[in-house]
Copies of this chain bind each other. A is one copy, B any other.
């Protein structure tokens, strides 16, 4: 057992690729997995709960967290800001939990730089661009214009896949989820995890 510490699992890919569905399924199947909880400057709404849906911050608090380098990534969206707090992720990992981060491609790259040794990153690709197009239009969560805009930017995003640790063509949900489960399990055996154990072995007497 050389995997007491948890991993930070980053799941990314273009809009419409199905990150949310994959993550929800993973949460069901992985015992020691928890979602990362973001900080936000948006006001609380009915149903929100501090530290459950988000950590709610004032603009000033958010600014200070940026200055103190306390985010693994942050971004402004629709005037309100969102960020992944480093401390929350670290605490969960120290406690042996794996932390799941469902995040768009720019945020993912920030996290991969900031938390290098701790991150295992997965990029989801569509079977075809046509398929991605259908999914984006089909989900109907936004105007057709916005969906088309997202689709266009997906062409640039797929190139980013090369910078990730693992890449999965998200064709069948079942296969994708099992692949990510294996990737998460494997991440517990990265060599850095064993450094302390190696040092301990070297310190043992040569003549037992």
Of the candidates B1, B129, B167, B206, the one whose C-beta lies within 8 Å of that of A2 is B167
Of the candidates B2, B155, B179, B197, the one whose C-beta lies within 8 Å of that of A189 is B179
**What's the minimum C-beta distance from A164 to chain B, rounded to whole angstroms?**
6
**What's the minimum C-beta distance from A166 to chain B, rounded to whole angstroms?**
4
Which B residues are in CB contact (< 8 Å) with A183?
Answer: 182, 186, 189
Q: Is A171 an interface position by the 8 A CB rule?
A: yes
> What mask results when residues 128 to 155 of chain A are scored 1 for a CB within 8 Å of chain B, else 0?
1110010000000000000000001001
Of the candidates B130, B178, B185, B197, the one whose C-beta lies within 8 Å of that of A125 is B197
Which B residues are in CB contact (< 8 Å) with A190?
Answer: 166-167
Chain A residue total in the interface (Cβ 8 A): 47
The reply to whether A204 and B164 form a contact with Cβ atoms under 8 Å apart is: no
The reply to whether A130 and B166 form a contact with Cβ atoms under 8 Å apart is: no
A49-98 interface (Cβ within 8 A of B):
none
Q: Is A43 an interface position by the 8 A CB rule?
A: no
Contacts A167-B191, A171-B1; A126 near B201 (Cβ below 8 A): yes
Residue among A122, A165, A183 having the largest count of chain B Cβ atoms under 10 Å: A183
A208 to B183, CA, bound (A): 33
**What's the minimum C-beta distance from A197 to chain B, rounded to whole angstroms?**
6
Of the candidates B133, B158, B191, the one whose C-beta lies within 8 Å of that of A208 is B133
The reply to whether A2 and B168 form a contact with Cβ atoms under 8 Å apart is: yes
The reply to whether A1 and B191 form a contact with Cβ atoms under 8 Å apart is: no
Q: Is A25 an interface position by the 8 A CB rule?
A: no
The reply to whether B208 and A129 form a contact with Cβ atoms under 8 Å apart is: yes
Instruction: Show 20 A/B contacts (Cβ-Cβ < 8 Å), sorted by A.
Output: A2-B125, A2-B167, A2-B169, A122-B189, A125-B194, A125-B198, A126-B201, A128-B201, A129-B208, A130-B208, A133-B208, A152-B206, A159-B202, A161-B191, A161-B198, A166-B189, A167-B190, A167-B193, A167-B194, A182-B185
